[in-house]
Amino acid sequence: GQERFRKLWKLYFQGADIVFLLTDSTLRNILISKDMFQMIRRDAPHVPIIVIANKQDLPNALDPSIIERIVGAETHPLVAIDLTYRNDILKLLLNTAAKHVNIPVPNLPADDLLRFTDEDEVTLVE
């Protein structure tokens, strides 16, 4: 999100299939993310944008439903340092990508769907 790269964003998002916009959950950062969301929407109007609201564990964090109303996009909570959120976010990423390419995903925990081999290859369990 650095200012010097924003002129290149249009090029990044023209070929995008999905955008995951990760933000922290403070009002200041949500307002910045709203501006980013609007720029992405302007440059790539048909690309789905999903907001992931990190730092939900902090006392000044806005609730995801409020963030959703401010930004104008589906918003999912995250606490990056808390592994209990890991499975939900992995499932969100996997299901969103699979839906986009029309591949069904079994209703299993993300760890069961994604397995990493010794060669760091990703395999999908069917």
Looking at the whole model, is its pTM more than 0.85? no
- Asked if pLDDT for residue 126 goes beyond 80, the answer is no
Q: Look up residue 9 and give its amino acid.
A: W
Instruction: Render pLDDT for 87-125 as a digit per residue (tens, 0 to 9).
Output: 888 888 888 888 888 888 777 777 777 765 555 555 555
**Could you tell me if 50 and 18 are in contact, meaning their C-beta atoms sit under 8 angstroms apart?**
yes
- Full residue range of the structural domain in which residue 73 is found: 3-124
- Number of structural domains in the chain: 1
CATH number at residue 29: 3.40.50.300
Q: Is 65 helix (H, G, I), strand (E, B) or coil?
A: helix
- Distance between CA atoms of residues 119 and 94, nearest Å: 21
Strand order in the sheet with 49-54: 19-24, 49-54, 75-77
Higher pLDDT, 116 or 69: 69
Per-residue burial over 11-30, b = 16 or more CB atoms within 10 Å of its CB, e = otherwise: eebeeeeebebebbbeeebb
